[in-house]
Amino acid sequence: MVDLDARTERLDAYLDDRGLEAVWFAKPNGFAWLTGGDNVVDDDADVGVAAAGYDGALRVITDNVEAERLAAEELPDAVAVESFPWYADSLAGAVAERSPAPAAADFDVPRFERVDGSRLRQPLTDDDVERYRELGREAAAAVETVCRNLEPEDPEYEVAAGIDIALASRDVDTPVVLVGGAERARRFRHYTPSDATLGDYALVSVTAERAGLYASLTRTVAFDAPDWLEARHRAAARVEATALAATEAAADGSLTDGDASDTAGDVFDAIREAYDAVGFADEWREHHQGGAAGFAGREWFAAPGSDEPVRRPMGYAWNPTVQGAKSEDTHLVAPDFTETLTKTGQWPTHEVEPVDVEGVSTEPRELSAPVIR
């Protein structure tokens, strides 16, 4: 269950700070964060079928088609549900009519200002962390089960279908499923599944979602491993280990001379140094490096000069790539510990030492290794 008190405490502070009377969330991740429920009917829609709001009390506004179902199956008893006739108004119009003003929303509502839901969703609460652990284990177990049964002649799209089914059977959605066989994984960073067969090796990258939380992971399976694969994977893994260590240092405020305002840009600088140290100085230019994760696949991406704060407890999914190799898991960085969320204990790992970057620990990390069959 979602800790509603923790949510409303943040929202009270937000309303006071902005001089607002109400705030509304209709984007699926904002709705899920506030209520723990799902407002999605059409997966292609940017805005769900209901808006969750807070004006001193928690309310949901939706049309009469959805009201009974949401109240019965998606929402805590503490959340009141109000409906409007499906033919009479739009969701935005109903919110504008029924909300006190001034107000903010994460979707277009006349005369409302926009709220940055991502900042409100950070850091994670204790109940978020527990549900995140469950999601990470489920996602990794499903992906690894499929990966253990791969064969060189499998088409990429059949592998993707198997992952979709394996995760759906665990009540987990798959907004991202990338499967790249030997030819396409070397050419493309986003290897959307095709009818090509896997060949000598495969990269399988998945972002899984349940109850608004997102976990990402990549697994490498080699049947006739290219001579370069192990070295490039280890290089990518050292960048991931450095990114994780730099995240911890930034959260401590110790990455840049004890400055308590260490940012995503500071972590990115460490990532860039790591690429240079492992002999692939320009690889960071070829793909984003990941960032904070939680109620989005990435709440923010690390990039040059990014001023996003590095907070904890928070999920972080770093995904460095090196010319056909990739290292990626989702990790929880908490005040007193770091743990890998997308871990089952059944997939091989290797000990990886971060590169020596000023302010960053070089303590080795256990990261996912390729499976060589």
Q: Are residues 113 and 131 in the same domain?
A: no
Strands 50-54 and 329-333: unpaired
Tell me, what's the pLDDT at 258?
Answer: 66
Q: Are residues 113 and 147 in the same domain?
A: no
Output the domain CATH number for residue 78: 3.40.350.10
Q: Are residues 100 and 60 in the same domain?
A: yes
Q: How far apart are CA 364 and CA 240, in angstroms?
A: 11
Mean pLDDT of the residues in the chain: 97
Q: Are residues 130 and 54 in the same domain?
A: no
Q: Whose structure tokens read 């001089």?
A: 19
Alpha helices in 149-228 (DSSP H): 156-168, 182-187
- Is the pLDDT assigned to residue 303 strictly greater than 70? yes
**Domain finish residue from 67, 96, 121:** 121
Q: Are residues 179 and 217 in the same domain?
A: yes
For the segment 89-95, the average pLDDT, to the nearest whole number, is 95
Tell me, what's the pLDDT at 259?
Answer: 61
Question: Are the beta carbons of 144 and 207 closer than 8 angstroms?
Answer: no
Q: Are residues 96 and 206 in the same domain?
A: no
Number of domains in the chain: 2
pLDDT digits (tens, 9 = 90+) for 304-359: 999 999 999 999 999 999 999 999 999 999 999 999 999 999 999 999 999 999 99
- Indicate the pLDDT class of residue 373, thresholds 50, 70 and 90: confident
Q: How far apart are CA 341 and CA 350, in angstroms?
A: 16
**Domain finish residue from 100, 121, 142:** 121
For the segment 196-211, the average pLDDT, to the nearest whole number, is 98
Q: Are residues 32 and 157 in the same domain?
A: no
Percentage of the chain with pLDDT > 70? 99
- First-to-last alpha carbon distance for the chain, in angstroms, is 41
pLDDT digits (tens, 9 = 90+) for 29-70: 999 999 999 999 999 999 999 999 999 999 999 999 999 999
Neighbour tally for 80: CB within 10 Å = 12
Q: Are residues 205 and 84 in the same domain?
A: no
Tell me, what's the pLDDT at 168?
Answer: 98
For the segment 94-100, the average pLDDT, to the nearest whole number, is 97
Q: Are residues 117 and 89 in the same domain?
A: yes
Q: Are residues 31 and 169 in the same domain?
A: no
Q: Which domain holds residue 68?
A: 4-121
- Indicate the pLDDT class of residue 283, thresholds 50, 70 and 90: very high
- Is the pLDDT assigned to residue 260 strictly greater than 80? no
91-104 as b/e: b if 16+ CB within 10 A: bbebbbebbeeebb
Q: Are residues 11 and 152 in the same domain?
A: no
Q: Are residues 137 and 91 in the same domain?
A: no
**Domain finish residue from 106, 121, 136:** 121
Output the domain CATH number for residue 281: 3.90.230.10
